[in-house]
Amino acid sequence: AGFNVAHATHSIQWKRIEGIGKNGDGISSFPVTAAVALDSTSPCLQYHVITSSKDSLQISWYFSPTLNFLNAPEGLRFAVSVDDEAPQVMALNKDDNGPAWNNWVASNTIIKTSLHYIAKPGKHIIKYWLVDPGIVLQHIVGRFRPAAAPTYLAPPVTY
């Protein structure tokens, strides 16, 4: 939940939820019933990062488990982007039945991965965009190399 800038609207705010994640706090949009059409004015969280590398960046997004309470075919959705790229809309819980749901609840986490290209080292802005409500973001992990084997806890937070 350690974002740098929170963009909200008059009707949608971002709120920290203490202790909800495996490694600490999480963050979600409120009210939890408000969805938005994704555009350049949509609510988003900005994370400022400095990289010493360039190339393909893999970002793992850690979320609290939630059911597809909208009963949408694609599940609940969120979007992500780096710098000025168009947001990638991603499905959080499309497969929320059977073994997938059991694993998510057992680990208290749904992990989704996005891929981006960083053209040069330096300062970059990672954005997490609201699309559907009721999603709790716990943690973000970015890597330039292939992901390490999954572990129960995410890597520690760096500031």
* pTM confidence score: 0.88
Closest CA to 114 of 130, 105, 126: 126
* Count of residues in the chain: 159
Closest CA to 144 of 44, 4, 50: 50
3-class SS of residue 17: strand
146/102: higher pLDDT: 102
- 106-151 pLDDT per residue, tens: 889 999 999 999 999 999 999 999 999 999 999 999 988 765 666 6
Please tell me the predicted confidence (pLDDT) of residue 97: 74
Phi-psi region of 22 (alpha: psi -120 to 50; beta: other; left: phi over 0): alpha
